[in-house]
Structure 1
Amino acid sequence: MNLLATQRCVEIRQEIGWTEKRTVETSFEMKLFEDQLTIKNDTFPLTSIFDISYRKKPEKDAMGFLYLHTSQGVRTFYIKEEPISLLNAYQKLKLERPELR
């Protein structure tokens, strides 16, 4: 199983302490392999993925959204970097493998 591309995603959550409210940001990797896409503990076979798209404003520190369109619905992930390598690798796989079209 060859790793074709990765995309760093961001998870944001609010924590409330005794005297303050904090925003905690953690990150994780979305990994594209020849037959599946893994996100944390979730695995999506490529045959269940219809498309991957994103929306991000051009500002340097702007938060963007990566949309994973699957047979189970659309999953949304926060991103800071544009996912060009992930999208290119996914589109190349779709062209090479007719069962993914």
Structure 2
Amino acid sequence: MEPLAVQQCVEVHQEISPIEKKIVEVTYDMKLYEDKITVKDYMYPITSIFDISYRKKEEDGAMGYIYLHTNKGVRTYYIKEEPSEFVNAYFKLKRERPELQ
């Protein structure tokens, strides 16, 4: 099954060696399907998601956040790309399926 939308997320961590400390960024995809959202190895059923919001500065390369408001709390993911296409696809799906409202 093809995803309806894909949002690239970023995981940031430090690696420290005896001679240097560096910040490493690893990218992965958040995928929206008709019945779920997947993030790495985790799956959120679409019925468990109440809302999606984000906070992103307009500057190129600036770090932002996308928030999944779920029945188990708010899950936060780092982003660098504008997520409006992903968020709009979610709200379109929500409008088309009355059981999600």
What TM-score range do you get, normalising by the shorter chain? over 0.9
After TM superposition, the structure 1 = structure 2 runs for residues 41-52 of structure 1, keeping only pairs within 5 Å, are 41-52=41-52
CA contact (8 A) 1:2 1:34 kept: no
Q: Which runs of 5+ in 1 are unaligned?
A: none
- What is the aligned-residue identity percentage? 61
TM-score of the superposed pair, with normalisation by structure 1: 0.96
> What do you get for the CA RMSD once the two structures are aligned?
0.8
Cα deviation 1:36-89 (Å, max 9, x = unaligned): 000000000000001110001111121101111101111111101111111111
* TM-score, with length taken from structure 2: 0.96
Gaps of 5+ in 2: none
Match of 2:28 in 1: 28
Aligned length: 101
Corresponding residue for residue 54 of structure 1: 54
CA contact (8 A) 1:5 1:33 kept: yes
Deviation at 1:3, TM superposition (A): 1.2
- Structure 2 Cα separation of the partners of residues 99 and 35 of structure 1: 12
Question: For the residues of structure 2 that align with 1:79 and 1:27, how far apart are their CA atoms?
Answer: 9
